[in-house]
């Protein structure tokens, strides 16, 4: 498509609501996807840190030599 002016570009031949609405929804969903991935990554890291802390605590409380 060829537009003669910026206003025609933004109007998108009368379909601006559909075009820009779709662009907006897509941008929103991409932002939500990035946020969700970062949140899930943070949750997994926190779980790993907690598991590591428990493992270290258990290792201090019951040395391997005492178990044998």
For 53-64, what is each residue's pLDDT tens digit? 999 988 887 765
pLDDT for 59 equals 84
CB atoms within 10 A of CB 45: 10
Q: Does residue 8 register a pLDDT over 60? A: yes
**Structure letter (DSSP) for residue 1:** -
On whether the CB atoms of residues 31 and 37 are closer than 8 A, the answer is no
For 13-51, what is each residue's pLDDT tens digit? 899 999 999 999 999 999 999 999 999 999 999 999 999
In sequence order, which residues have a C-beta less than 8 Å from that of residue 19 and are 6 or more positions away?
Answer: 12
Torsions phi, psi for 30 (to 5 deg): -65, -40
pLDDT for 64 equals 59
Report residue 2's pLDDT band, with 50, 70 and 90 as the boundaries: confident
In this structure, what token pair is assigned to residue 16? 């601006």
């Amino acid at each position: 498509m060829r537009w003669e002016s910026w206003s025609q570009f933004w109007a998108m031949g009368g379909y601006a609501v559909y075009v820009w609405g779709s662009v907006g929804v897509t941008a929103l969903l991409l932002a939500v996807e990035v946020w969700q991935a970062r949140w899930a990554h943070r949750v997994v890291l926190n779980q790993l840190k907690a598991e590591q802390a428990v493992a270290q605590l258990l290792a201090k409380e019951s040395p391997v030599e005492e178990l044998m």
